[in-house]
Structure 1
Amino acid sequence: MYRQAQKSISAGDYDEGRALLEKCLELDARDAYCWLSLARLEARTSDAENARRCFEAARATCPDNVRLVHAHAIFEQRAGCPQVARQLFAEASEMDPANAYVSHAWGQLEEALGNVSAAQRIYADLMARRPQAQLERAAGNVSAARRLLQTARKYAPQSARVRLPLAALEAASGEASAARAAFADAVELPGAHRSDDGAGGFSELFNAWAVFEAKLGDVPAALEVLRRARKRYPRDPSLLQTLGTLQQRAGDLDGARASFSQSLAILPHAPTFVAYALLEASLGNIERARELFALGAAADPTHGPLHSARAKVEAAHGGPESAREVLREAVARFPSATLWHGWGKLEERQGNLEHAAELYGKGARASKGNDDPSYLWHSLGSVLLQQRRLPEALAAFENGLSRRPCSSLLLLGVAIVHGQMGAFDEGRSFFLRAVQADPSHAHAWQAWGVMEARLGHADVARDLYQRGLRRCPDHGALWQASAKLEAETGHPERARRLFRQGAERCPSHAPLLTAWAYYEMHQGKLARAQELLLQAETLDPHAGETFHVLSLLRLKNGKPREARAAVERGLEVAPTHAPLYRVLGAMQDVAGEVELARSSFKEGLRLNPGYAQLYHAWARLEGRLGNWDALSDLNKRAKAAFPSPVVDEKPFAPSTREEYTAFDNPAKSATSSNLAGTVSDAQ
């Protein structure tokens, strides 16, 4: 009867599941498993008070069951009652002082509340060495994390759950050979062959290994890892989900469908429904995708990523209002960081930056318990940065860093803001921390190089791009930035060679081909530029920049009507691409359509207040008309968008250059917060 109840719940028949569980409890009122399932069901489907009463009744009937107290504590934490959760965790810890699950969850509660020292004390006191190691790694204390995990391995040499974070630590540190060896050793531990479902963490090891190989770009190696795992653990659904994802990436769509279907037959798991639905949507099978999303929502209506993915598909095929309705309903029923983020992204894609910022901020401030809002703070900072609201953007990134002090994305955000505010030395220190936190963060290398190039430090920028490309050779934007630098410093053949090499390494990167076309256009190679733009449009028919460059090329060829058509087509497929409004406004100005030109310039600046060329184009129009009030207003807006440096830029002195050049392996020195100390460690 209990198994039938679980099947009913998995199928979304909650009333049937509830009735069966209640019948089980009539037969045996002290069945803790039934109480636990019933309490969790109430937590999922009813209001908090019903769930709370169920937990209290369960604990009154089974007062010695630590799992019930543990589950009740997690419920209170998610319900936004951290003090009650803390008391329950303490009670559970007294009942079972060696329970690692309790100590882990309690430590995570304190970590989520910002009480890092309390979390570390709990982990240390209760000897939960693996979670403490994860905390140390998140804080950037790589050596401390490694030391804790090695101690844990000494106490539990056969534990897959200790070996997995050890291997992951090597992978995150950029030590590919060491990580691969750690994975290979761990999956052959004695316990690895004791079940056919990967119990004990062994299927997680294989999944992590496969994902690691895929991130390195070796999908065949990843598939081979999963083939071994599937042979050993045919009943593990997570392996099939990962296999399906990699088969899709490799172009084996029928194989991906089969893997997702097999996984769902074993366990109707919401993330698998999402992966399967997105596959069908990518193939144009929208009704099938909607059906899969609905099944996933029935299996787990609280799964935020499912609603976000569903909304994204609706935005593409049902329109933005249909997507908003999905997210509005989901947020009202199950508010989570994921859903606020998905809704914000929807508004951002529609060009509604202020509304997106409002949603990100609301979600970040409303997050409770383990619902980590750091990526909401990052998205808020990024949108504010687009709007040139630099102090607010800096505050948002710093709020995120208070939760995730070693987040490369957040560190990069702070670095970019400092650079744009003119605090270049401060920006450098945060760029350095960003690449220390994640040596394979290509955008961090690129953005740092862009700042140095703008300051005239071409050799430094070149060096940064090369370091980034050594670590991230498949990142098209790094090749693009590197080629652009060579073009700007008077090395046309070097630039062309880098564009060519980048296109070979990143054959699907349309922006790289568009940038190459722009370069060839300015070199007078108009036919070659046209050829490259056609390739770019084939790769991504919705890229606004491709149509922007195409319009400029047609103007250069003396074809203004065709240029206007390219702009209008670009605005159809990419209505939020600001450069298109600049070209359109300039064309309208030439045609004497002054008010239309003003309207185009205004919309472009709304979408991208940091687009300097738009200010120039609009100012030319107003200056020609002698509209001094409008010019004054534009000047004020430009000054607000481009503040003067807050500190004087110092020359890039030789001593600083020597320190910088010595920094070549950020992973080795990720615990250092001082530039000189970092360089010393790296040397």
Structure 2
Amino acid sequence: MVEDRLFGYRSGTDMYETSLIGDGAIQFRDGIRLGNPLRVNADRLNYHAKKELRSNRLEEAQELYEQAIQIDPRDGRAYIGLSRCAQRRRDFKLAKEYLRIGIAQSVSCGYDSKPDVGANPFLLQTLGCLEEKMGHLSEAESLYISAVRSRPSHAASWVALAQIRTRKFRQGAAAGRVCFQAAERELEKVGMPPSSYVYTAWASLEYKKCGDVRRARKLFKAALMVDKKCSAAWLQLGMLEADLDHWDQAELCYETVLKFDQRNSRVIQAYAIMESKRPYSNSRKVIDLFERALKANSRDAGVLQPYGLYVAKLGDIDSARDLLRRATEVNKRHAPAWQAWGVMETREGYPEEARNIFQQGIWACAQLTGGQSGGYKCARLWQGWGVLEASEGDFAAARRCFSRALDADNRNLAAITAWTHMEEGLDNLSEARQLFKQSLEKFTPGTDETKQLFRAYELMEQRSGNEANAQEVYRQSMRESFSVASADQGDSSFSNYSPSVVRTKNEEKKKREFEVSRWDQEGSSSMKAEMMLDGSIEGKVPRSAMNKKKKKPTSSSTTSTSTPPSDPK
């Protein structure tokens, strides 16, 4: 009876029909069905196909998605599903082909039931994410722009566009704010409710790029006002509080989200890392949290990697080695796991084993279009390998590794600082200065990475006794910071900075504030859960060297020479 009323029963046969015309009358002409298919049929097929895909049954999922396309070739969900099946098989060419076919055939309408100006924005954004994953950043940005032009109220495309500009292109926070403000404005224009996803990403930008805790908290609260069960907002708010050593507030955030999202391995992992950093923490509680996260998702390399680092910190190297090996097995392309394993073997005095791990990781994480260096995912592995060779005394091999790291990602801050630190230790100050100057040209002025490079450059000059050069570097950084702040102040597009759901009249009258300089290191929080428990694991400038009160130059530690290793190619 349910099927008769839901699908429509064709008298005289045993078939259920899947189309309606007008008020529900089913019509045929020359044996061909007329009208549009019932949406519930495509919903049902896509639902079951998604369940099969989650269980990694790719053949069954692909068959269901193909049936959904036969019922309604204009529904874009099935094309996204087929693309994901192809990605699971590492067939990115076929994955892009499915999305292009869907863009050509699918039809989509916005919240106001008006057809989109261009192609389906969901498919455009999915194709942009795929291009970004493959390292084609310019193509990805172009697709995100096409998506927001097709449907200006598509919040996910605005967030993706903001993140690729601020994270991959290293543009300043202003570039991200423009996107988030546009998303907020367009959603309000079509009568849609505010997006907690937009406010969460915006808050992350304000905290990580600008260090503005007050505005970040305000935006997180705005996201939670829209959706009280927004796991991402609770998670990042907890990470913010943990970075500020507000342990009780961070614990409250994690416990809140675990009440309604008990199997969120990312939240449990962040909770465990917070407890590991907490003073007088209970190691038993930390291990129980990591085990709880693995019980929720046993194949999460983002949990196994920090778990292994914590166990190594406790002194159980064999268990840490097993956890890191397991992380590389469940996700061979998880570069942080390979790097953490290689660095651990380096510290334990097994350089040959570390070299083999770095090489295996580069082969596993290499991208199809990454060239000889393997692409940006391999940059951290080349950098870790370079630090290893420098510690072993093979400085020629270290330079080759650092060069490969910058070839894979010419904005890899860890590789730049590690290379300049090595050259400084060898008294090659001219080479170190040249590296700093070339690197500063590649970063957007006023960004946090640029400030860190200027500060490292200034400290190097101070340690070498060149106070005049140090003062000149400092003046140059100040001029750049003031020029960027003046440019932002003159931009009228930021007049409506605060979100509308939390904006008050008194706040609109307050004088705008601009961050001139900030020399502290970037925090270890990350949405992708690729964080390192020890900041020196990426060869960054140590905190002791960042102390501005330090006046006397420190002598570089001498490195022990050994048999030159093989050429890391």
8 Å CA contact 2:338, 2:357 repeated in 1: yes
What is the aligned counterpart of 1:274 among 263, 266, 269? 269
Give the match for residue 48 of structure 2. 34
Asked if 1:440 corresponds to 2:454, the answer is no
8 Å CA contact 1:36, 1:58 repeated in 2: no
1: CA distance, partners of 2:121 / 2:42: 29
Per-residue CA shift, 1:73-115, capped at 9, x if unaligned?
A: 4454454x4xx3312421342233334555555566566666x
Matched letter for residue 327 of structure 1: L
Give the match for residue 297 of structure 2. 300
2: CA distance, partners of 1:408 / 1:510: 18
Report SS of the residue matched to 2:448. coil
Shift in Å at residue 306 of structure 1? 1.0
What is the aligned counterpart of 2:389 among 384, 389, 397? 384
8 Å CA contact 1:310, 1:326 repeated in 2: yes
Q: 1:99 to 1:271 in 2, by over 3 A?
A: same
What is the aligned counterpart of 1:330 among 314, 327, 334? 327
Give the match for residue 553 of structure 1. none
Give the match for residue 360 of structure 1. 358
2: CA distance, partners of 1:375 / 1:59: 38
Matched letter for residue 353 of structure 2: H
Give the match for residue 53 of structure 1. 59
Matched letter for residue 41 of structure 1: S
Shift in Å at residue 248 of structure 1? 2.4
Asked if 1:233 corresponds to 2:259, the answer is no
Give the match for residue 256 of structure 1. 250
What is the aligned counterpart of 2:100 among 84, 93, 109? 93
Give the match for residue 11 of structure 2. none
8 Å CA contact 1:270, 1:306 repeated in 2: yes
With the length of structure 2 as denominator, give the TM-score of the two structures: 0.62
1: CA distance, partners of 2:474 / 2:267: 38
Per-residue CA shift, 1:425-484, capped at 9, x if unaligned?
A: 66545423423415423552244345656777542233224555876544389xxxxxxx
8 Å CA contact 1:269, 1:299 repeated in 2: yes
Matched letter for residue 340 of structure 1: W
1: CA distance, partners of 2:362 / 2:353: 14
Report SS of the residue matched to 1:254. helix
Shift in Å at residue 362 of structure 1? 1.6
Asked if 1:393 corresponds to 2:398, the answer is yes
Q: 1:55 to 1:369 in 2, by over 3 A?
A: farther
Report SS of the residue matched to 1:96. helix
Q: 1:248 to 1:188 in 2, by over 3 A?
A: farther
Q: 1:476 to 1:70 in 2, by over 3 A?
A: closer
8 Å CA contact 1:453, 1:461 repeated in 2: yes
What is the aligned counterpart of 1:475 among 517, 520, 545? 520
What is the aligned counterpart of 2:306 among 295, 305, 309? 309
What is the aligned counterpart of 2:472 among 442, 463, 469? 463
Asked if 1:611 corresponds to 2:557, the answer is yes
8 Å CA contact 2:177, 2:202 repeated in 1: no
Shift in Å at residue 367 of structure 1? 1.4
Shift in Å at residue 194 of structure 1? 7.0
Give the match for residue 591 of structure 1. none
1: CA distance, partners of 2:521 / 2:131: 40
Shift in Å at residue 373 of structure 1? 2.7
With the length of structure 1 as denominator, give the TM-score of the two structures: 0.53
8 Å CA contact 1:341, 1:360 repeated in 2: yes
2: CA distance, partners of 1:62 / 1:179: 37
Report SS of the residue matched to 1:31. helix
Shift in Å at residue 237 of structure 1? 1.0
Asked if 1:129 corresponds to 2:135, the answer is no
Matched letter for residue 298 of structure 1: K
Asked if 1:321 corresponds to 2:318, the answer is yes
Matched letter for residue 405 of structure 2: G
1:90-169 matches, cutoff 5 A: 90-97=97-104, 98-102=119-123, 106=127, 116=136, 120=138, 129-131=142-144, 156-164=151-159, 169=165
2: CA distance, partners of 1:451 / 1:39: 53
Give the match for residue 341 of structure 2. 343
Per-residue CA shift, 1:148-205, capped at 9, x if unaligned?
A: x5x8766654443454466664798775677667655654543499778x65xx4243
Give the match for residue 286 of structure 2. 289
2: CA distance, partners of 1:170 / 1:293: 31
2: CA distance, partners of 1:113 / 1:514: 41
8 Å CA contact 1:340, 1:360 repeated in 2: yes
| Structure 2: tracts of 5 or more residues without a match | 1-40, 105-118, 369-375, 482-515, 523-541
1:271-670 matches, cutoff 5 A: 271-283=266-278, 284-317=281-314, 319-335=316-332, 336-367=334-365, 372-412=377-417, 427-436=432-441, 437=443, 439-441=447-449, 442-449=451-458, 457-465=466-474, 467=476, 472-475=517-520, 516=550, 611-612=557-558, 637=561
Q: 1:191 to 1:34 in 2, by over 3 A?
A: farther
8 Å CA contact 1:112, 1:403 repeated in 2: no
Report SS of the residue matched to 1:373. helix
Give the match for residue 224 of structure 1. 218
Please give the root-mean-square deviation of Cα atoms over the aligned residues, in Å.
4.5
Q: 1:223 to 1:204 in 2, by over 3 A?
A: same
1:8-87 matches, cutoff 5 A: 31-42=45-56, 51-59=57-65, 61-64=67-70, 67-79=77-89, 81=90, 84-87=91-94
1: CA distance, partners of 2:475 / 2:412: 23
Per-residue CA shift, 1:249-299, capped at 9, x if unaligned?
A: 334322222211222333332221111111223342222222222222233
Q: 1:638 to 1:346 in 2, by over 3 A?
A: closer
Q: 1:69 to 1:170 in 2, by over 3 A?
A: closer
8 Å CA contact 1:112, 1:369 repeated in 2: no
8 Å CA contact 1:409, 1:434 repeated in 2: no
Shift in Å at residue 384 of structure 1? 2.5
2: CA distance, partners of 1:167 / 1:85: 24
2: CA distance, partners of 1:363 / 1:473: 34
Matched letter for residue 274 of structure 1: Q
Asked if 1:242 corresponds to 2:287, the answer is no
Percent sequence identity is: 18
Per-residue CA shift, 1:627-678, capped at 9, x if unaligned?
A: xxxxxxxxxx59999xxxxxxxxxxxxxxxxxxxxxxxxxxxxxxxxxxxxx
